[in-house]
């Protein structure tokens, strides 16, 4: 018999024209299950009106991002034992800085449009992957380097929710779109310069590094934003001295 924990799931609820409130739902969970499993148990056995987004259950689709005890998590890979104890309360809320559609589900449309503005690449050549300590035989010109790989960013929106600047300036492009712009590179896509080098672009970031702290996919948006600034300065200086 696997070990079972009794926890209280404190779920954010908000339907159309309804004031936001929390529902406390007692559920039995296995500590080595994931937070998404607990939400599904609550939905399946207690209240089928709980609305939440989920799909792949293995951190690829980026749909199940929520705030777990106040911190952004991809709930399909967040172990219950890491965020609550037996008899404890687990609070789940929708992501911040997105309009709530219903309960834990948010409208990601505005965010996806920003990703389109910077021509975010869903796939990129393997040769361009940032690999720490590449093997000594790594040869970017080799045939294998012609293969494509999925981009690291799964567009889960956790970085947008965690960013304190997004909370004060909704027009700000935000960490994931700026990281995607860096991934493209100003040199490769010069048209991105005007998109990111503006009031609500790369200079709006205030170096809180919260995006990197919550990113479940090792995109490291903060570092990429800093690198994008260097790219922007370099491109502007190049234009100034006629090298563009």
What is the Cα–Cα distance from 148 to 223, expressed in whole angstroms?
23
Helices 221-240, 175-184: axis angle to 10 degrees equals 50
Kindly state the DSSP code that residue 128 receives in the 8-state scheme.
G
- Cβ 165 to another protein, closest distance in Å? 8
Which alpha helices (DSSP H) does the chain contain, by range?
35-45, 80-83, 109-117, 158-162, 164-168, 175-184, 192-196, 210-214, 221-240
> By CB under 8 A, is residue 136 in contact with another protein?
no
- Interface stretch with another protein, choices 14-22, 74-82, 94-102, 222-230 (CB under 8 A): 222-230
Name the residue nearer to another protein (CB basis): 63 or 222: 222
Of 16-24, 96-104, 145-153, 224-232, the window that binds another protein (rule: CB under 8 A) is 224-232
Q: Which CB atom, from 71 or from 77, has the smaller least distance to another protein?
A: 71
Among 140, 230, 234, 237, binds another protein (CB under 8 A): 230
How far apart CA 238 and CA 221 sit, in angstroms, is 25
- Closer Cβ to another protein, 177 or 221, answer by number: 221
Instruction: Determine the Cα–Cα distance for residues 174 and 202; give it in Å rounded to an integer.
Output: 8
- For another protein, the binding residue among 25, 162, 215, 235 (CB under 8 A) is 162
Question: What is residue 204's DSSP assignment?
Answer: G
Selected from 71, 126, 127, 145, the binder of another protein by CB under 8 A is: 71
Closest approach, Cβ 231 to another protein, in A, equals 11
Identity of the residue, 104 or 205, whose beta carbon is nearer to another protein in the bound complex: 205
Least Å from the CB of residue 77 to another protein: 19
Half-sphere exposure of 131 (CA within 13 A, CB side): 14
Query: Least distance to another protein from the beta carbon of 67, Å?
Result: 10
Whichever of 63 and 217 has its CB closer to another protein, that residue is 217
User: What is the rounded distance in angstroms from the CA atom of residue 196 to the CA atom of residue 182?
Assistant: 10
DSSP states of 155-181 as a string?
A: ---HHHHH-HHHHH-TTS--HHHHHHH
238 binds another protein (CB under 8 A): no
Of these, 207, 240, 242, 243, which contacts another protein (CB under 8 A)?
A: 207
222 lies in the binding site for another protein (CB under 8 A): yes
Q: Are 196 and 205 in contact (CB under 8 A)?
A: no
Sites of contact with another protein (CB under 8 A): 69-71, 162, 164-165, 206-210, 213, 222-223, 226-227, 229-230, 233
């Amino acid at each position: 018999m696997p070990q079972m924990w009794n926890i209280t799931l404190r779920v954010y609820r908000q339907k159309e024209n309804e004031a936001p409130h929390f529902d406390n739902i007692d559920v039995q969970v296995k500590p080595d299950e994931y937070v998404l499993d607990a939400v599904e148990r609550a939905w399946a056995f207690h209240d089928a009106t709980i609305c939440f987004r989920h799909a792949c259950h293995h951190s690829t689709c980026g749909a199940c991002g929520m705030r777990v005890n106040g911190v952004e998590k991809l709930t399909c890979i967040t172990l219950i034992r890491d965020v609550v104890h037996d008899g404890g309360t687990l609070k789940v809320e929708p992501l911040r800085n997105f309009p709530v559609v219903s309960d834990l589900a948010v409208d990601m449309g505005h965010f996806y449009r920003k990703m389109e503005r910077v021509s975010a690449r869903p796939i990129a050549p393997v040769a361009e992957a940032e690999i720490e300590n590449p093997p000594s035989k790594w040869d970017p010109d080799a045939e294998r380097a012609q293969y494509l790989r999925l981009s690291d960013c799964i567009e889960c929106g956790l970085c947008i929710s965690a960013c304190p600047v997004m909370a004060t300036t909704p027009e700000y492009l935000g960490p994931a779109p700026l990281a995607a712009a860096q991934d493209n590179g100003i040199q490769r896509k010069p048209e991105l310069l005007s998109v990111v080098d503006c009031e609500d672009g790369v200079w709006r970031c205030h170096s809180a590094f919260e995006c990197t702290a919550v990113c479940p996919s090792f995109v490291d948006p903060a570092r990429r934003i800093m690198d994008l600034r260097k790219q922007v300065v370099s491109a502007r200086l190049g234009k100034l001295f006629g090298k563009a």
